[in-house]
Amino acid sequence: MLFNSLDFAFFLPIVFVLYWFVTNKNLAIQNALVVVASYVFYGWWDWKFLGLIILSTLIDYTVGTLLDGTDKKGTRKTLLAISIVANLGFLGFFKYYNFFVDSFIEAFSLFGVELSAGTLNIILPVGISFYTFQTMSYSIDVYRGNLKATRDLTAFAAFVSFFPQLVAGPIERATHLLPQFTRKRSFDAVKAVDGLKQILWGLFKKMVVADTCAHQANLAFNSIDDYSGSGLLVGAIYFAFQIYGDFSGYSDIAIGTARLFGFDLKQNFAFPYFSRDIAEFWRRWHISLSTWFRDYLYIPLGGSREGTYKKIRNTFIIFLVSGFWHGANWTFIVWGALHALYFLPLLLTNRNRRNMTIVAEGRVFPTFSNFIKIAITFLLVVLAWVFFRAENVGVAFHYIGEMFSSSLLSIPENGYADKLILVVILLTFEWFGRKNQYAIATLGAKWPRLLRWLFYYLLIVSIFLFAGEEQEFIYFQF
């Protein structure tokens, strides 16, 4: 079920009414409703994969319970291994089986050895990369002693399958979200209104900005030889805003929807295109994933504490794994490696934590120096996005080669300017709202009520009038 579909427009108010006006007297029943609603939400896509979510839930619930009942190091390590192997096994089979088989065959063909092996017609379950990481982190936190295992299976199932963030995040930690299912929740009208505002802004970013930018990005990437270098550069920039509007828009809708039901989800994007270096970009982009890899992979590997070699090794590991997490294609691995190369100079010169505050804090506009830093960082990110978007590595290099041709300084082809206004509108709202969790969180707080509602009405109208051709959420494929 898509957030921007009529199905969800009917689904959400029905669940909302049942949640607050029918089941609100009993926490267990209310949590059970969340589980049922979440399974309906997910099963709307393909009910057959519900079994995978249920199995993952039962495995980690059981592992957590058993971990809580023993102090034996060997037993605890075995239990943790069961959780990790099971979850990564699900992910590996459904997402990477064909990739490994095909790569194995191609590797031997380089030496003149022809192998044949049939790959399976495996359907990738929506959201598997998100909910497996979420449930696996629960077992890790219980193992580490950061969290006491829950005995409430219903609450745990609701945590794993919570429909607002089930299929594309944010990836929540059990230490943050699970306790919210064990406490009685009261309706808060102020939070609900705030949630609706964030949903509205997310829909605008997705349907108006992302889906409109997608059209121009698709033209450029699908017809590389028909465009000048400048046209390809603009096409790559439009993809940058497509993926940002698409994914951050989804996160806004998810966080806003959760707030309607009394839940607090963590911010997943913090205006990343205003970053002054790549390290800051990764503190602001897909925050739930980057912090997951930091806490469960980078730091256990030693982080940046154990000499230059291990700094470099750990940096490449975390970025390559992050790239591979996104999909079974070498393009994602190259994308991750490129960001590692961007990041290393900052790490090795101890400048990776230089920009920790909001850019131009207390100012209306950035300094010239900060503006140049933002522009350079953005262009580096755009260059990497070419690999992320391209069908394969060869296509990506062809795109970049044509982009940096002599026609790079020419005037781009017609058809770009009408989309540019949407990007400018997005950046304007985000710049002036960059201190908040989302751009319009405090916009109009001191306006007269009529003017404030007129603004919301204009946003709604713009979604109906200017939405681009419907595109599936990009991160559904991950």
Place of tokens 């290393």: 344
Catalytic position from the list 176, 215, 286, 326: 326
- Name residues whose C-beta falls within 8 Å of residue 87's C-beta, 6 or more positions apart in sequence: 56, 59, 60, 132, 133, 135, 136
Nearest partner of 466 among 419, 431, 428, judged by Cα: 419
| Integer Cα distance of 178 and 155 in angstroms | 7
| Integer Cα distance of 322 and 142 in angstroms | 24
8 A C-beta contact, residue 24 and residue 30: yes
326 catalytic? Reply is yes
DSSP label at 146? Answer: S
Alpha-helical (H) ranges within 69-123 are: 73-91, 97-109
The neighbour count for residue 153, using CB atoms within 10 Å, is: 15
The SS3 assignment for 23 reads: coil
Integer CA distances (angstroms), 289 to 172, 212, 294, in order: 9, 27, 9
Backbone φ/ψ region at 411: left (φ over 0), alpha (ψ -120 to 50), beta: beta
8 A C-beta contact, residue 241 and residue 416: no
Q: Is 31 exposed, middle or buried (0-12, 13-18, 19+ CB in 10 A)?
A: buried
CA distance from start to end of the chain = 16
Integer CA distances (angstroms), 48 to 45, 123, 124, 165, in order: 9, 11, 12, 20
The SS3 assignment for 356 reads: coil
8 A C-beta contact, residue 265 and residue 170: yes
| Integer Cα distance of 153 and 310 in angstroms | 41
- CA 142 vs. chain centroid, Å, equals 25
**Interior angle at CA 185, CA 182 and CA 270, nearest 5:** 90
Note the maximum CA span of the chain. Answer: 74
8 A C-beta contact, residue 242 and residue 213: yes
| Integer Cα distance of 6 and 202 in angstroms | 16
The amino acid at residue 404 is: F
The SS3 assignment for 152 reads: coil
The catalytic site residues sit at 326
